[in-house]
Amino acid sequence: MSKKRKNIIIMSSINTKWEAVQFLKEYIAKCGHNPIVLDISMMKNPNVTLEPDIKAIEVAEAGGGGKADTEGETGKRAERVEIFKRGAIKIVKEMVEDGRADGFVAIGGATNTGIASAISKALPFGFPKLILSSVAAMRYDYIDRSDVALFASIVDTDSLNIFLRNSLARAAYMICGAVDSVDRPVSAEIDELRKSGVKVIAMTQLWTSDCCAYILDILRRKGNYEVITYHSVGIGDMIMENQIEAGMKFDAVIDTSIMSLSGYLLGGNIAADKTRLEAAGKKGIPQIITPAGLDLISCGPISRRDSGHDPLWEKKGFKQRKLFSEGDVRIQVKISPEEAILIGRTVAKKLNQAKGPVKFLVPWKGWSIANMEGQPLYEPETDKLLIDTIKAEVNPEITEIREYDLYINTPEFASVIVETLEEMLSKTA
């Protein structure tokens, strides 16, 4: 049985990269799929022989520009880049939503990669997307909260050579393999699972890996749960927030680590953004939360301590604080009493907006290995101040705070979380 031909968008500036686009187009066609070339050229090149399927003028007009923006005649380059970015996002999103595109691949340097990155961030999780970039190593935020694959071309993409041909051929097989592997979006699979009675749970982890492993083991043995775990380092947990905001249907959220919220408030390396701890509440999704990591600020590497100009170490007085080290990069310091009050008030304010039930579980024998008794960041009076602040300001009709004489990374506390989960789900069934 022959496989279904799928539509793969190839985006690039063909005024300078037409040879690479042509090569990639031919390879994708050889793989049995239909390449659709989208041109974002901002300058003319009379020597180009490749005819795009979606012309630069169409992209410019979709972004609020015109013909002159394709010829380098108007405004500053940065303004033209924004026009093409808006236009390309609009066109590609419409094609994806209408079922006219099954995959997306882009080729280029800084400008093309930036535009391709913005498009990728606007596309749904699970939709195949790949960027072949000569500047892949320059910025981590090319990926940010999307699941785009960033492939370093090593060489420039303006002219064909043995290295670029090799990379383009691999890129073709990568994107074609990706579109061949996708039968339906993840959201459809989640809907099917939930219809069959499976509970789909989102869970964050940081400083809580043992606890989460115990939770996963218990729920797998029960057999009617699908648990999706996010690394709560500011990116992973914000991806969870974004997916919930976009309509991903979870039955509950087990937020074992909201450390990135304190990182956002205090300027730490592990930082989410201002909307952390809001999406599930807005959607009315039941939440279980623990305070793991809320008492810490990530501030590595340790070399920054003695640089003399790092604001975290100098202005916040980190040099004088308790420190927990897991190597040169993973450095944590303890929050101050004033910061504990700020964090507590912020958590309470966010939880008070929730439209669904919240259980805040506090394991007093330790929220992480760093603040257990005998560890460098053990400071129970500061931890108590944080929790007391939440207690004083949270709405008890929405959020119930439960306290336990347990350490967080134990089977016993994991069992408490699972029991709480089942209790909450039984009331929302």
13, pLDDT greater than 80 = yes
Look at residue 269 in the predicted model and tell me its pLDDT: 87
Tell which wins on pLDDT, 52 or 302: 52
Burial classification of residue 328, based on how many CB atoms lie within 10 Å of its CB (0-12 exposed, 13-18 middle, 19 or more buried): exposed
In the sheet that holds 358-363, the strands lie side by side as 225-231, 199-205, 252-257, 287-292, 358-363, 399-404
Cis? peptide before 46, omega within 30° of 0: no
Structure confidence at residue 73 (pLDDT):
66
Q: pLDDT by residue (tens digit) across 354-365?
A: 999 999 999 999
| Predicted local distance difference test score (pLDDT) of residue 75 | 65
φ, ψ of residue 300 in degrees (nearest 5): -75, 170
**Over residues 288-298, mean pLDDT:** 95
Least confident of 212-226, 288-302, 311-325: 311-325
What rounded mean pLDDT belongs to the chain?
Answer: 93
Q: Which residue has the higher pLDDT, 45 or 27?
A: 27
Please, what's the b/e burial string for 22-33 (b: 16 or more CB within 10 A of its CB; e: otherwise)? bbbbebbeebeb
Lowest mean pLDDT among 153-167, 250-264, 310-324: 310-324
pLDDT exceeds cutoff 60 at 2: no
Measured in whole angstroms, the distance separating CA 192 from the mean position of its chain's CA atoms is 24
User: pLDDT grade, residue 405 (50/70/90)?
Assistant: very high
Q: What pLDDT digit, counting tens, does each position of 162-181 carry?
A: 999 999 999 999 999 999 99
Alpha helices in 284-404 (DSSP H): 311-314, 337-351, 380-393
The pLDDT tens digits for 320-347 are: 888 898 877 788 999 999 999 999 999 9
Instruction: Place 74 in a pLDDT band, splitting at 50, 70 and 90.
Output: low
Joined together, the tokens standing for residue 13 give 């500036």
DSSP state of 141: G
| Whole-number pLDDT of residue 1 | 36
Distance, first Cα to last Cα, the chain: 44
Which phi and psi angles does 331 have, rounded to 5°?
-115, 130
Check residue 429 and give its pLDDT: 67
State the pTM of this model: 0.86
Q: How many CA atoms lie within 13 A of 21 on its CB side?
A: 29
Residue 312 has pLDDT above 80, yes or no: no
Q: What is the pLDDT of residues 193-208, one digit of tens each?
A: 999 999 999 999 999 9
Look up residue 7 and give its amino acid.
Answer: N
Phi, psi of 239 (to 5 degrees): -60, -45
